[in-house]
Structure 1
Amino acid sequence: MTTTDRRAVLRAGAGIVASGALAAGCADGTATGGAATHPDAPASRTGAAPAPLLRYPAQIQHGPRDRPQVALTFHGDGDPATAHALLAAAEKHGSRVTVFAVGTWLDAHPGLARRILDGGHELGNHTLRHLDINAMPEADADAEIRGCAERLTALTGSIGTWFRPSRGARASPLVERLARRAGYPHVLSYDVDSLDFTSPGAPAVVRNVMADVRAGSIVSLHFGYADTVAAFPGLLHELDRRGLHAVTTTELLT
């Protein structure tokens, strides 16, 4: 994601996604999308799909800038050992994260769905196979969203609180519409990219985040990378030094 894409336009205390063409996401192509919750919706621990937050746009890039909170969001794929290590580190620190699971990853590691929720974290939809959903015909894109939602429902009883499309920093208008039809009122983006998927080394992951993070930021991170595991304790320490606490995306936006 470019520096321009990272800078959202703040309006009325809400995260407003900057207009323009679809931006490049992580090098692995992971996109940003999600569904925010209404304060009266079930708690995030239930994994229930939320009602829309009316003050936010269809695609959300960051939360309010007036509270010392950030959302650390993980793209759920890869070696499950990294997921267990990162979740344990977050819990030891008293932090909560949001995980966007790939459907085929859940097929291979079904126990991780409950592990995420039982740790007090949020679980969301990151498509079924992690393909370029913005380039797909409508029927195929719909199958990617619903396929992951079905797996989440089978494992947790819910489609999950958030949707993040794969391989693009934002959802196309078609994918945005399909996500909403599947039960995700918003597409969640991010304003800070850790670039951990490039395996730049743990210090670089921390520097990448801390260079752009601020109150209300939504940070893109990944399971499956050793550098992310090595960087995470230091990243949490640096956030503490800034007076920023990691919460679920629902907590950030409500």
Structure 2
Amino acid sequence: MTELVRATSGRSEVALTFHGAGDLDITRQVLAALAQHGAYVTVLAVGTWLAARPDAAKMVLDGGHELGNHTWSHPALSAYKPEPMRVEIERCRDELVELTGSPGAFFRQSQGQHATAEELLEAGKAGYSRVLSYDIDSLDWRDPGPAAIRHAVAAASAGSVVSMHLGRPGTVIALPGILTDFARRGLTVVTASKLVS
């Protein structure tokens, strides 16, 4: 069982990873901005979001992006006992399989930058060999404003995995500038699978 925080390949690549939840109109705007910049990302989807908005998975995959598992209901997962923790992981996994035929490339724990030993263990039991954490937090979940989000993401360097959120208007506004900043620095935005390959 492996926790991935950042890549060590030395390639000039970064992975933007999005917590998958929220309004589909905002998701469409994010996907459109990514397409304009030729950027590909990883969306760690919340199971309840997928169940309520089954078009979301198709939209992400049709854009050339990848999906992963971000629990069923996004609880403070590290506080859960093993069995309910595994149920959170497996319910989202099963929803991904039903919608896409795949359990997703990665699991990411909810409400924690790094996976606990128990989260790693239960994700492994649910069939995930890789847990995708991150080294850069965009802080977009705090709604600090587009300039602050862009500034936080500017700390990313080659190999970084950045945590962002769909469904946040500030993220949509910040994204073109973030993508332009990366291009100016010679950093290519790729899926997490490509980053760690």
Alignment partner of 2:57 out of 113, 116, 132: 113
Of residues 237-246 and 58-67 in structure 1, the stretch that sits farther from structure 2 once superposed is 58-67
2:151 equivalent in structure 1: 207
Unaligned 5+ runs, structure 1: 1-56
TM-score (norm 1): 0.76
CA distance in 1, matches of 2:42, 2:187: 16
- Structure scoring higher RCO (CA < 8 A, sep ≥ 6) equals 2
2:194 equivalent in structure 1: 251
CA offset at residue 172 of structure 1? 1.7
RMSD over equivalenced CA pairs, Å? 1.0
CA offset at residue 139 of structure 1? 1.2
Alignment partner of 1:196 out of 140, 149, 162: 140
CA distance in 1, matches of 2:137, 2:109: 16
1:126 equivalent in structure 2: 70
1:223 equivalent in structure 2: 166
CA distance in 1, matches of 2:194, 2:80: 32
CA offset at residue 168 of structure 1? 1.2
CA contact (8 A) 2:107 2:123 kept: yes
2:119 equivalent in structure 1: 175
User: Which letter maps to 2:164?
Assistant: L
CA distance in 1, matches of 2:116, 2:10: 30
Calculate percent identity across the aligned residue pairs. Answer: 46
Q: Name whichever structure is richer in helix by fraction.
A: 2
1:237 matches 2:171 = no
User: Which letter maps to 1:221?
Assistant: M
CA distance in 2, matches of 1:188, 1:90: 21
Unaligned 5+ runs, structure 2: none
Instruction: Provide the aligned length of Structure 1 versus Structure 2.
Output: 197
CA distance in 1, matches of 2:178, 2:135: 16
